[in-house]
Every structure is written in C-alpha cells, then in structure tokens.
Amino acid sequence: MTANSGKPIALVSAPTLAAHFPSFQLALLSPTLRKAGFEVEPLSLFMQFGKAIGWKLNDALSNVYPSMVGEWIWSKAAFGEVASEAAYVKLYRSNLESICRDAGCTLKELRAVRNEKTFEFLDWAMESIDWSRYAVVGFTVVFQQMVASLALARRIKAKYPQLPIVFGGATFEDDIASEIVKQCGWVDAIHCGDADLTIADVMRRLANGLPLEGLPGLMYRKKDGGVTYSGRAPNLENLDLTPVPDFDEYFHLRESTGYDDAPDSHEVMIPFETARGCWYGMKNHCTFCGLNRSGMDFRSKSAPQVLEHLQTLSRRYGALHFNAIDNILAPEYVTELFGKLAEGKTDLKLHYEIRPSMSHQQLKLMRLGGLVSVQPGVESFSTHVLTLMKKFTTAMKNVELLKWTTYYGITNLYNILYGFAGETAEDYRAQAKVMRQIFHVQPPWSMSLARPDRGSPMFEQPGKHGITRLTPSRCYPFIYPKQFDLQKAAYFFEDERDQVPDPSAWDACLDAVAEWKDRWTRGPKPTLSYVKGWQTLTIHDRRGAKPRAHRFDDRTAELYELCGDAKRREDLLAKFDGDAGFLDGALDELIEQGLLLELDDKLLALALPDNPNH
C-alpha cells in the first residue's frame, strides 16, 4: 500500500552535516517504510546546501562545539533575529576565525551564509520541491540539524497547512521534544525512541488523518493546542530485524551535485549499525557521557548478518570504508566479525568505538580484519581520575592501547578530559610525566574540560559531581528565541564546580598535549623503536632533541621483550628464577633511561618493535 491518496512520504535530512557522511537515518527508515508498503522519497538536503555554499565551508560548519555555528546560521531564517549577531561573533570570535581558516573564507563571508545563503537555500527548497506531492514530511534530527529543520518545516507548514510534519531522531527524548512541540506550532508531532517497529503506524495514521492516541513514542499537538504523549517507543531488541540500509539517493547526489569531482571532497564513510546502547554503561555510566539516555540497554546484530550487510553495501556502492555508529564494540565481534574478515583477506576499512581494555592480540586480529580507526574511551593517564569518571580501567591499559594501535597503524581518535570532583594536582603532575615519555605514540585529539552534557550523570546529579551551577551553553540564547525554556531545549551546558584543584594544576598536561600534537603535526614525528638480534636488542630513541641508542644483551634483552605487554614484578621475577638482584638492577636502568614505564604496579616496554610481525 501507499500513503494517503497514493502520495509518498518525504524523509528529510537537513543541514548542517559534513558531505562525506551519509544520513544513516534516511538509509534505514526508507527501506523500513517501503517494506510496510509506503512509497518513500529520501531528501539529503544537507548535500544541496553544501553545493550552495561550498563543500569546504559546509564541512567546517559541521563542527559542533562550542559555538554551534551550524545551528546559529539557521536561527534568523527560523525565528527572525533573536539576539545580537555582533555579540555572538564577539563571544565566539576565536572559534569562528578557526572555522574560517579551515574553510578558506572570511568572517564576513561566514556571516553572509547566515544572513543571505540560508534564506536563498530555503527559497530553493520551496521552489524546487513540490511539497504538496507528499502525504507526510518527516525530518530526522541529529547533531546540528534542529534549527535548519525547524526553518524549513515552518515554511512548508505556512504554504501547506494541512500537510503533517513529524520530527524524530537521536536528538529527541521527552525533555527536548516537549519544548519543540510547545514552542513550534508548525511541528505536528515528534517521535521519541527507536522507530523501527512504530514508524509505519505513525506515518499511516498521519497520512490518513487517523487518531494518534496510544502510539508509542509519539508526542503530538491536539486540535485544542494541548500536547499528549504515550511515552517513549520501546527499544528494538532484535537488531537482526533491520534491513540493509539504502544509500542510493545519497550516492546519486554525490554525483549530481558535483561533490565526487570537487577538489575538497572526501572519500565516503558509509555508516553502518551493528549495535545500540552501551553494555559498559549499563553497569557503569561514565560520569560525563550523555549518549544513549533511555536507550542504554545494549543490543547487537549477529555477526553473520553484519558480514552480510557489509558485503551487500560494498558490492552495491563499490565502497570499502565503513563507520560503525555504535557507541561500543560488541565483545564477540573481535573473533566472530573481525576474525572472519581477516580470514577473507578483504580490503575493507572499519571504524569502531571501543573500550581501552583491548589486548595486543585482539588489536592484531582486528587490524588484520580491517580495523583502521578507533575511538576509545582513553580520557586520562591517571587511574585515580579514570576511577572518578567511572571508567574502571587503568592508565597502564590506556598506554598499552596507544602503543599497539600506533604499532598496527590503527588511527586512535581519543581525548583527555579533566575537571572531575575529587581529582588532585598530583594526578596531573604524574600524568604530565607519563605523557612526555610517550610522545612516540599517537597524541590525543584534544585535552578539554569535561562537560555535563544532558543525560550524563554530571547533568543528572550535579551536586554529587561537585557542580554548583549548571546553565545552558552561552550559544543557545543566540539560537533560540526568549520564549524557549533552554533548560529543556539545550544539550550542552556550562557550569561552575568545586572539589577540583586550582586550574593551574592542569597546565603541565595542557602544555604537554600541545607540544605532543605539534610535534606529530609539524614532524618529524618522535619515535622509539627497537631491533632484535639473536640475543641482543637495540633501542633507537628519537623522542628528544638528540637521538640516542641503547643496546641490551641476553637476559636484559629478554626482560625488555617480556614487558612488551605490561607485567607485574612478581611475574617477571618468576621468569628469572627469583633472581631479584638482576631483575631490580635491570628494571632500574630501563626505567631511568625512560625506556620502561612503571605505572599501576606494572611495567611496560615503551619501544615499538621494528619487526612488523609482532
């Protein structure tokens, strides 16, 4: 069947998104609705906007925090002038100038996007697309798509007041959804929660003007203006029920908009989903994490179906690069997914979010299976601070992860966070010392103050985490009109907190991270490696200004290799028949030379093997 009067459903993914990341939401919901009998037209309008303003600028505007410029540029088009543009630019000048440098534009040109280009784009969208053709228009909202979606939806509703408009997506839980429905009369309904089992009924009722009462997940405005809500839609428990995503429309747009041939284009990273929720967060919710919220319960696809979907998508689109949008890797995938990919000797390239507790051998297998990039929960090189975050891993495990991901050529996208109640200045003095020993492994993306994002324990229980004041980020009053309750509409918050050391305590680590990143960016990169003879081992140390070489023979060489993975002293002592004199002397020498790291009652050889087969 089709929707009302044979009209199709429009599914919209609005700006502001980077052009090389297709909308997974459109790709998943389109075949889901088609299977239920609907004709569906996905509209990746973020691609058309990228063409209109230039791909490089579009991608730069997709960076989210702190200015949320990808939302701000649409605010005037959605609501009119809500606050002083000059005041916004003054407040975020440094961030905006950085965006302009990345985009190769001026601040004047960026402001013209807000004051001219967004309006021109909305005019184009209204003139080029016959919205009267549709039975329902659905907007999927993630990241910085809220305000552009509201701006376009407002125009559609003004011209076609009888056309139902529904919002959904990961942005929406009860709080944000209720404020949008309350303040934006042109949005008829918002769906909260997994849509897989409920979206067909939502669209059928909206398209045919049927009552909406009792629909799980649907928050909607009644004819009398009141808002009703039946509660969040249930989590989809069996992810094997989801179809192969359909990215046909996106790949058509890559070609028709000229993106494929643009000098600023990027290789597509096809998003794919193998799990929802977080198995670790079910047990220990990291204090700063606002992801998942009501969808924390962990569910994963079977490995055979993941393999089938990867095979289908790769064949259909001729693509090799895949970005798992999961919040955490399902443990069984190490062998059941990556082991199979390794056996197949494919050239697929996969990105995953992982726990930092992955072992050397697990990383080796996963790299053979195509793992080229990870986003691990490193966050700190202090076990005490990690415990305060509820990470329940150790600084040594984090260093080991960096060592072996660097060795195997796995890009490691991690951050260092600070500002947790109970941390001490000594935590950061010790971290700075560790950092300066490991300049030869990949540096963090950034070091920043932990944020109390909506849904995080820091947000939900501020007092418990030393937060004495919690207010929406300063960017929001420049984005939403005054009638919005920003305590409900905002996702990012600013705060004041106690139970943390004086800010100067963080300086040594901030300086170390800045130097670390600079040396990797400007080159030559610092290195620490070793080559092995039959019973000798030579370490080449190029971490400092002057290269150094160290040679170790026989038992000392054996000891160093034994510490390739972190070992306890007592385990090493057993390996050398209880010869404490030799062991302590050799360990002291290796530690003094900065070649061996002693941390968390374990010892780790820092040098990476030159031999590629470890």
Tell me the pLDDT tens digit for each residue of 227-242.
999 899 999 999 999 9
Partner residues linked to 219 by β-bridges: 190, 229
Q: Phi, psi (5° rounding) for residue 275?
A: -160, 160
In a domain, 42, yes or no: yes
In a domain, 83, yes or no: yes
What domain range includes position 541? Answer: 527-609
In a domain, 95, yes or no: yes
Q: Is pLDDT larger for residue 88 or for residue 5? A: 88
In a domain, 56, yes or no: yes
**Mean per-residue pLDDT of the chain:** 95
In a domain, 60, yes or no: yes
Buried b (16+ CB within 10 A) or exposed e, 327-363: bbbbeebbeebbbbbbeeebebbbbbbbbbbbebebb
Q: What is the pTM of this model?
A: 0.95
Measuring CA to CA, which residue among 104, 437, 74, 27 is closest to residue 270?
Answer: 27
Domain's final residue, options 229, 251, 284 = 229
Q: CA 206 to CA 209: how far, in whole Å?
A: 5
481-522 residue pLDDT tens: 999 999 999 999 999 999 999 999 999 999 999 999 999 999
In a domain, 163, yes or no: yes
Q: CA 500 to CA 423: how far, in whole Å?
A: 6
Residue 35's CATH number: 3.40.50.2300
Domain's final residue, options 229, 246, 280 = 229
In a domain, 77, yes or no: yes
User: Is the CB of residue 586 less than 8 Å from the CB of residue 555?
Assistant: yes
Q: Where are the alpha helices (DSSP H) in 209-337?
A: 248-256, 279-283, 303-317, 333-336
pLDDT of 172 = 94
Q: How confident is the model at residue 3 (pLDDT cuts 50, 70, 90)?
A: very low
And the tokens for 245?
């995503």
Residue range 536-565: mean pLDDT, rounded: 96
16: cis peptide before it, omega within 30°?
yes
Q: CA 606 to CA 434: how far, in whole Å?
A: 11
And the tokens for 600?
């968390």
Helix pair 118-128, 146-159: axis angle to 10 deg: 50
Domain's final residue, options 229, 264, 284 = 229
In a domain, 380, yes or no: no
Helix pair 580-592, 554-562: axis angle to 10 deg: 70
User: Is the CB of residue 443 less than 8 Å from the CB of residue 512?
Assistant: no
Residue range 443-467: mean pLDDT, rounded: 96
Q: Are strands 165-168 and 189-191 parallel, antiparallel or unpaired?
A: parallel
Residue range 43-67: mean pLDDT, rounded: 94
Q: How many structural domains are present in the chain?
A: 2
User: Is the CB of residue 442 less than 8 Å from the CB of residue 399?
Assistant: no
